[in-house]
Structure 1
Amino acid sequence: MKKRIAIIMGGYSSEYQISLKSGNVIYENLNPDKYTCYRIHIFKDKWVYVDANDAEYPINKHDFSVNVDNQMISFDCVFNAIHGTPGEDGSMQAYFELLNIPHTSCGMYQAALTFNKRDCLSVLKPYGIKTAASYYINLGDTIDEEAIINKVGLPCFVKANKAGSSFGITKVHEQPQLQKAIDVAFKEDDEIIIESYLDGMEVSVGVIIYQGETKVLPITEIVSENDFFDYEAKYLGKSQEITPARLTKDQETKVCKVAKKVYEVLKMTGFSRSEFIFKDGEPHLLEMNTVPGLTNESILPQQAAAAGISMHDLFDNAIEEALKDLP
């Protein structure tokens, strides 16, 4: 019997449009001989199943089922394609774990931890993971610009602590720009992280569980046409994404080792994509994404292709991993 797969997409954050694209790519690439797939749109005002004719059927949040033509449908597994909240911050993971429905992303704690840049970096530092110098601000705190610049220097990056796709990020070159950058970040989140500028090659490293083993995918080098790898660079073609990255053997070995260590220290499962910048020959971790983009143009599928893993196999493996511990 074919497994019924709910592909959740959308979400409550600025990333919802990217999520819809990822979800539709998953829908198009899952094997119809093995799976019956359902596109589930998750928004603040509605949770609905969207059929092939774009008709909408409300999801019963009590058990995550849907009634279609007087037939109650429940799901064997959930494929999580929601970038940002509530799919990447632990909320949906906790919900599905309470309902005992397998899902393709990491656990609730891992999702919540990695979504919070400040907390994630703090947990990893004792394990020797190198990061940029940082300064934290919460909404309502007094802004001490001198203290910030003394800690992180200029230029620096002002980031929303819990946001993705480069929303709420500004590169600040001079002190008069700092307050405006802080205001931009606070539009995305009530917590901010301000980090020192690391001048070096930026790379993105995918790590997944593939056929039961932790696998580091071929590394992608990020060359942005803009001042940094912002939204335009990521999604509007203003960057080069070179896979495999033009690294020395020593650099490749170092960053693969660190990326795998981060994945294992955090007891990750499912997809992950971590961003690093090389400074003085050493990889410094910026952040980890646990629901990375899964469109045809996205970095992790590019990396999988370079490793000889097709979209079909990548997505099929994610479901198999999610289902393997079931009785």
Structure 2
Amino acid sequence: MKTKVALITGGYTGEAEVSFKSAAFVQSQLDTDKYDVYPITIGLDAWFHVNENGIRYKVNKEDFTLDMDGHIVKFDVAFIILHGSPGEDGRLQGYLDMIGLPYTSCGTLTSALTMNKGYTKAILADIPEMSVANSVLLFENHRAEAVNLVREKLQLPYFVKPNAGGSSIGMSKVKAFDELQEALDKAYDAENTGKQVLVEEFVSGREFSQGIFRNAAGELVVLPATEVRTTREFFDFEAKYIPGLTEEITPADLTTEQQERAARIIQEIYIRLNCKGMVRVDFFLENDTDKFYFIEINTIPGQTAQSFIPQQVRAFGMKEGDFYSELIEAAL
């Protein structure tokens, strides 16, 4: 009997559009001889599945089943490809834990924690061989005095970003003090990000993104890194999703020592945060020091054909369908 997979996508934020593209790619790669895949859209107004004839069926939220014309579809596993809230911040995972449905991503606490960039950095700050940029975490109560707090504690230039956002939405690079207030307002007011802002000192270096996952045998597997080179000021939303603005090199040109060091650090990050499934770690290698600087962790990374993880899976010598199957089997 085939495994019934709820491929959960959509979401409550501006990242929903990317989620739909990611989910479509995952579905195209999954082995239909092994899996019955049901795309499930989660939106603010409804949770539903649309069949091949365009008929919409609502999800029963009591047990996450579908009543398809009297036939009840009960899922074996949830494959979460929902960027932003509620799929990446732990809300969905808490619900699935309560109804007893296994899923492919990190658990509730890890997901909630890692959506908070400032809290994540605090937990990871003492990992050997890894550095974190000097930063200030600002809450809503700090808004009136935010400019002064940043100027007192940090040196220009800055990265200013929502503390709980994704896809670089609401992020700015600030090179002069008179740009700071506008950047802070942009980050504070980014939709569904919790009115918290993280301001970091700029690290000058090469930028990388690297995936890691736990396979069905329980082994941690570090994928080859991708180097990101963009014509933009930094790797912002446009650079991520508009073709031609960014060059992505997979596998990245790193020395053997740098590759081994990155792998050690990324495995320690995965273990310390109690991650599950696949995650992606973004980092800088500082130009003058060759130090590894943690940027952030993404617990539900993009999965379009051009996204970093599929690139890295191919560079690793693995087919995407086999990779997604490993995630499902590990969850089960």
Coarse TM-score class (shorter-chain normalised): over 0.9
CA-to-aligned-CA distance 1:235-255 (integer Å, 9 cap, x gap): 112101101111222222221
> Residue 216 of structure 1 aligns with which residue?
222
| C-alpha distance after superposition, 1:95-145 (max 9, x if no partner) | 111111010001111111111111111111133441111011112323242
Amino acid at match of 1:242: I
SS of alignment partner, residue 130 of structure 1: strand
Deviations 1:37-94 (A, max 9, x none): 1010000111001212332111111110111111111101000000111001111111
Quickly say closer, same or farther: Cα 1:100–1:195, change in 2 above 3 A. same
Look up the equivalent residue of 2:182 and give its one-letter code: K
* Mapped partners of 1:72, 1:110: distance in 2: 32
Q: Which moved more, 1:135-144 or 1:177-186?
A: 135-144
- For the residues of structure 2 that align with 1:293 and 1:94, how far apart are their CA atoms? 22
Q: Hey, what does 2:318 align to over in structure 1?
A: 309
Structure 2 runs not aligned, ≥5 long: none
Q: State the partner residue of 2:237.
A: 231
Q: Work out the CA distance in 1 between the residues paired with 2:183 and 2:56.
A: 40
In 1, distance between residues paired with 2:153 and 2:222?
Answer: 34
The one-letter amino acid of 2:55's match is A
Indicate if the aligned counterparts of 2:127 and 2:265 stay in contact, CA closer than 8 A.
no
Instruction: Map 1:1-327 to 2 at 5 A.
Output: 1-128=1-128, 129-141=130-142, 142-188=144-190, 189=193, 190-212=195-217, 213-237=219-243, 238-279=245-286, 280-323=289-332
CA distance in 1, matches of 2:292, 2:283: 6
How many percent identity over aligned positions? Answer: 37
Distance 2:50 2:185 in 1: 37
Q: 2:212 corresponds to which letter in structure 1?
A: V
CA distance in 2: counterparts of 1:210 and 1:63, whole angstroms = 27
Partners of 1:204 and 1:99 in 2: how far apart?
A: 34
CA change 1:144–1:97 in 2 (3 A) is: closer
Q: Is the Cα–Cα contact under 8 Å of residues 303 and 309 in structure 2 kept in the other structure? A: yes
Contact 2:90 2:110 in 1 (8 A): yes
Q: 1:296 and 1:55 mapped to 2: Cα distance?
A: 28
Moved more, 149-158 or 66-75: 149-158
Which letter maps to 2:214?
I
Unaligned residue ranges in structure 1 (runs of 5+): none
TM-score, with structure 1 as normaliser: 0.96
Whole-angstrom CA distance in 2 between matches of 1:55 and 1:289: 33
Taking a change above 3 Å as real, the CA distance of residues 144 and 75 of structure 1, as seen in their structure-2 partners, is closer
What letter corresponds to residue 296 of structure 1 in structure 2? A
Preserved contact between residue 165 and residue 231 of structure 1 (Cα < 8 Å): yes
SS in 1 for 2:232: coil
In the alignment, the residues of structure 2 paired with residue 107 and residue 140 of structure 1 have an alpha-carbon distance, to the nearest angstrom, of: 30
C-alpha distance after superposition, 1:192-231 (max 9, x if no partner) = 1000100000010101112421011001001011000011
Which segment is superposed worse, 288-297 or 185-194? 185-194
- Larger deviation, residues 241-250 vs 162-171: 241-250
Q: In structure 1, what is the Cα distance between the partners aligned to 2:154 and 2:57?
A: 50
Contact 1:254 1:282 (C-alpha < 8 Å) held by counterparts: no
- Cα offset, 1:320, TM superposition: 0.4
Aligned residues: 323
